[in-house]
Structure 1
Amino acid sequence: MELDVLPIPLTWILLALLPVLFYVYCIRPHQVLKKMGVPHPKPLPAVGNMLDMMKNGMWNPDAQVERIEKWGTVYGVYLGMNPYVIISDPEMVREVFVKQFPKFINRAPERLNLEVKPQCRMMTALVDDEWKNMRSTVSPAFSGGKLKQMAEAMNTCANMLVENIGKFAEKEESFDTKDLTAGFTTDTIARTAFGLEVDSQRNPEDPFVRYTREPFATVFKDPLFWLFFMFPGIMKPILERFNYGFLNKNVAEFFYNVVDQVMGMRKTEGGAQGRVDFMQLMMNAHKDEDDDNKAEGIQVQGVKKPLSRDDVVANGFLFFIAGYETTATTMAFTLYNLALHPEVQDRAREEVCQVMEDRDLVDYEAVHKMPYLDMCISETLRMYAPAASIVRVTNDEVKMKWLTIPKGFNVMIPILGIHYDPKRWPEPKKFIPERFTKEEKEKRDPFDWLPFGAGPRNCIGMRLALMELKVGLAKILMKYRIVTGPDTDIPLVIQKKKQFPTPENGIKLRAELLQD
């Protein structure tokens, strides 16, 4: 062999190359932020600042505030080999969400988008025109007119929630608030979005409930997820080759069956008549794979883009898991805040009772006449925002103030750091609904409050979630006083490792029947 004539053994050559390769692939990429002039903590080879970020956890307001105080309103971190610029500067946040939105339209770079169905077809993963197409398809489901038609279903589910609370009130027992609110939001979304009669409040073992509870619960425990996150260039083709996603396959199969059944029922004569829900809008834009001529698509910049079966399944599933979890969590935390502040609860109750004096249904018009209840919800969302941060990726070079961000770069907005910034929100750990009076909101930068994101790619279900919250809370307040019990944690201890704000021991509260 020719290698035999080399004066130096091949093994020695390879050993000499290892430090070079290590530098090229594990150290040199960590020079990007320095070249950009962005301050950042010193990264470790390969893992970057990942260990420190994991130690502090995902949902940790104190850690976000401390990093901003130490590194400034624009700083960077390396998550594995991926550099991120973290921006809390108000003017630059506005640039990201609104002024230069076309350059920040996507949530992740292509190298971090795993092309495995159905999750790759979720609206959160779609990019550019595909995202625009999906957004414009489902947006009508959340119009004021559609929400008005959902009020009766919401009230029915809220009545069951009140009934369940009443069972604990009769026995003078504490209840796990999130368990009850999760049942309410599950039933509400199933009815208003899919037209399904799911009674999870009576039957928590219903398959629909079981398969929608924490479908991604094991994602962060999967070593392949972290390998993909740190080395996407290597792991992405491997995972896609074996069609390996991070959504439980049993969950995916269950939702495919549900969607097929719903679509089958609605295609029968009169099955879809008069329906205006999320599922029907997606069906109207669905492409029949056996006959392209049957496709009923929509126009996006002059191009017809019908939805596939994967699109319908992925976004039906996404809407359900996102809507039930975040709304249930917010309702539970709102009840906790009201229990700790009885004077606030009394004022909210007085407002609700006054609005409902001549009404039987907490409808669309009624909830818009409850500004103080809205203030209580808004302050709860500030304190317990469902998402700790929002990520956008540049699809072109971006210039903001002194900073130039290259194309394909990750930009993170630290929601908790903004929501707990003492300069924006004095005494940020206190529950003060009056922060959201009309006068106070006018004084404040609108980008200081971001529980639903902002701009064209904000949370599409925001209006539905707020109406659902107000209907459920109004029904409770009209009949019960929510109080703390001997097993209520004060203050709550939040699990920092969780994706959503999750109390260590749940939220245990009690209810007292109001006297007529």
Structure 2
Amino acid sequence: MFFLSLLYLLLILFVLIIAMSVFFRLTPEGRMISKIPADRGTPIFHNTFDIVLNPEQLFIYLRKLYRKFNGIYAMRGFGYRNVNIFDPKDVEKILSVTRYNDKRLPYGFLSPWLGTGLLLSNGEKWHERRKMLTPAFHFKILKKFFMIINEQTEELVKAIQEEVQKEKTPVMPLVAKSTLRVICETSMGTSMQEDIQLVTNKYFNAIHKLGKCLIYRISRIWIYDEPIFKLTKCYRIQKAALTDLHKFTKQIIRERRKFRKENKITAFDDDDDVYGKKSRMAMLDLLLDQETVGNIDEEGIREEVDTFMFEGHDTTATALCFMIMRIANEPVVQNLIYEEVQRVIGGTQQSLTMEQLGDMKYLECCIKESLRLYPSVPYIARVIHENIELSGYTIPKSTEVNIHIFDIHRREDIYPEPEKFIPERFSPENTVKRNPYTYIPFSAGPRNCIGQKFAMLELKSVMAGIIRRFKIEPVTRPEEIKFVVDLVLRSANPIYVRFVERKKCLDA
């Protein structure tokens, strides 16, 4: 009897799917979507099962679709639809104006973790949060934070020193711990005490588990709805991961509250003695100040701390990991960076200054070229609430528009020989010729990355600090990397390099 009932249920569901498919094709939106190039998929279900792939296969499949359709293509199934774009002119239409700011899928799947913080919020809430948090990334604040970045660069160099005798070193664990400490000690104002360090490994593991759950869900349209998703094993894994993630961030908030109380830091106290060496005007301080006047509540603070803990360390760690690997494989480029560092610092062993980093123009070009090839966030999306024309097609309202940064950065008509590492692409005379939306590692427009100057400062400091002391030799080759779809750009396998102390290089 049970199986008979289940059979009837499946039959009814199948009929409903057919009816929905036929009905949608008859609507104006359906007629618009049907004109856009697309993989045919399967009858009725369209592209629903085309994307039921593991993360590595899914990454390859998406690159295949880009090569097949070049400028634009559509995907749909089970009542969901998206349009994928690669033309910088189309990207500019979407990202340059606030009316296309809103996010929906797949960002909503992250809301149990990040709530509706700056990354996920829309409309007035996004505008208010952006306005509230912008002062935390002012140039004067970055100057105060630079001391911490230097300190953590030195700690990273000490950790690398212990690796010089080894034939190969996995890069990501080294840099991830460093970038996590930086974001904790700057934006969060916490000293990363021993009790916090004990849970960092849990934090890293939880992020990776959550990323896998997200991609599993994205590639299976039938579990998009929350009640159905809650019946899956993936939901239970996600729930356990969220416990570890929230435990970590709540502990950071508790530690900062305790510090403020013990040091009698009051709301909006901007005295240099207070926001100096001890607290350095942490972003978390700003949020806690705003809480006292009712502009944000405890849950709001938690969601912003979760957002910036993730975005502030994982994306930077990813960028460093790929750049270290690539520079190891580019000996001529690496030597030019080393020569520039030596020319700027004059052989001193003292910590670098912001002014010295500003003079390292070639290093900056190398960072930009690395972010072109390996954008930490390879894909972003927006939902449109009105019809818009892209690449000559009318895209109906309520469609998800996917912007594939990874593919835009590798367009041969924009970047000749796109797989080659050519830092000179970002010299002033070359960048002025290009549409600014051809290069968007930090997104662009009103919703661009609020922390991009902070990230560039950290990337420059770390790369200069490493290269002035070590020669980086290749182990993992660029052509060996197998990318996977995840929260950020990741490799399916660990990335390795070999570190050799500069003094030993000279003695040889």
> Shorter-normalised TM-score: what interval?
0.7 to 0.9
Aligned partners of 1:387 and 1:114: how far apart in 2? 17
Other-structure match for 1:207: 199
Deviations 1:421-450 (A, max 9, x none): 111111111111111111111122211112
Letter in 1 for 2:407: G
- 1:19 Cα offset (Å): 5.7
Other-structure match for 1:82: 80
Aligned partners of 2:214 and 2:400: how far apart in 1? 23
Other-structure match for 2:102: 106
Other-structure match for 1:433: 423
In the TM superposition, what are the counterparts of 1:435-454 in structure 2 within 5 Å? 435-454=425-444
Aligned partners of 1:15 and 1:330: how far apart in 2? 46
**Alignment partner of 1:471 out of 426, 447, 461:** 461
Aligned partners of 2:189 and 2:289: how far apart in 1? 15
3-state SS of the aligned residue for 2:183?
A: helix
- 1:22 Cα offset (Å): 2.8
8 Å CA contact 1:33, 1:40 repeated in 2: no
Other-structure match for 2:319: 330
**Alignment partner of 2:296 out of 288, 307, 310:** 307
- 1:363 Cα offset (Å): 2.8
Name stretches of at least 5 consecutive residues in structure 1 with no aligned partner: 1-9, 287-293, 297-305
3-state SS of the aligned residue for 2:499?
A: strand
1:277 equivalent to 2:282? Answer: yes
8 Å CA contact 2:170, 2:495 repeated in 1: yes
Aligned partners of 1:234 and 1:141: how far apart in 2? 35
Identity %: 24
CA 1:400 to 1:456, structure 2 compared with 1: closer, same or farther past 3 Å? same
3-state SS of the aligned residue for 1:152?
A: helix
1:124 equivalent to 2:119? Answer: yes
1:52 equivalent to 2:57? Answer: no
1:196 equivalent to 2:196? Answer: no
In the TM superposition, what are the counterparts of 1:56-455 in structure 2 within 5 Å? 57=55, 63-78=61-76, 80-98=78-96, 101-108=97-104, 113=108, 119-169=114-164, 171-198=165-192, 206-215=198-207, 217-218=209-210, 220-221=212-213, 225=217, 229-230=221-222, 232=224, 235=227, 248-271=242-265, 273-274=274-275, 275-286=280-291, 294-295=292-293, 306-357=295-346, 360-400=350-390, 402-455=392-445
- 1:475 Cα offset (Å): 0.9
Aligned partners of 2:421 and 2:10: how far apart in 1? 60
3-state SS of the aligned residue for 2:141?
A: helix
Aligned length: 480
Other-structure match for 2:270: none
8 Å CA contact 1:185, 1:324 repeated in 2: yes
TM-score by length of 2: 0.84
CA 1:191 to 1:229, structure 2 compared with 1: closer, same or farther past 3 Å? farther
Letter in 1 for 2:117: M
CA 1:489 to 1:204, structure 2 compared with 1: closer, same or farther past 3 Å? farther
Aligned partners of 2:465 and 2:7: how far apart in 1? 76
CA 1:497 to 1:50, structure 2 compared with 1: closer, same or farther past 3 Å? farther
**Alignment partner of 1:509 out of 483, 497, 500:** 497
8 Å CA contact 1:494, 1:501 repeated in 2: no
8 Å CA contact 2:111, 2:120 repeated in 1: no
Other-structure match for 2:32: 35
- 1:82 Cα offset (Å): 1.4
3-state SS of the aligned residue for 1:24?
A: helix
CA 1:514 to 1:220, structure 2 compared with 1: closer, same or farther past 3 Å? closer
Name stretches of at least 5 consecutive residues in structure 2 with no aligned partner: 267-273
8 Å CA contact 2:84, 2:401 repeated in 1: yes
Deviations 1:177-234 (A, max 9, x none): 111111211111111111222279xx99621443244425245448994598546567
- 1:127 Cα offset (Å): 0.8
Letter in 1 for 2:336: R
Range with greater deviation from structure 2 (439-448 or 246-255): 246-255
CA 1:489 to 1:74, structure 2 compared with 1: closer, same or farther past 3 Å? closer
CA 1:47 to 1:385, structure 2 compared with 1: closer, same or farther past 3 Å? farther
3-state SS of the aligned residue for 2:372?
A: helix
CA 1:224 to 1:184, structure 2 compared with 1: closer, same or farther past 3 Å? closer
Range with greater deviation from structure 2 (12-21 or 209-218): 12-21
Letter in 2 for 1:341: E
Range with greater deviation from structure 2 (77-86 or 222-231): 222-231
8 Å CA contact 2:53, 2:219 repeated in 1: no
3-state SS of the aligned residue for 1:408?
A: coil
Letter in 2 for 1:131: W
8 Å CA contact 1:105, 1:392 repeated in 2: yes
3-state SS of the aligned residue for 2:300?
A: helix
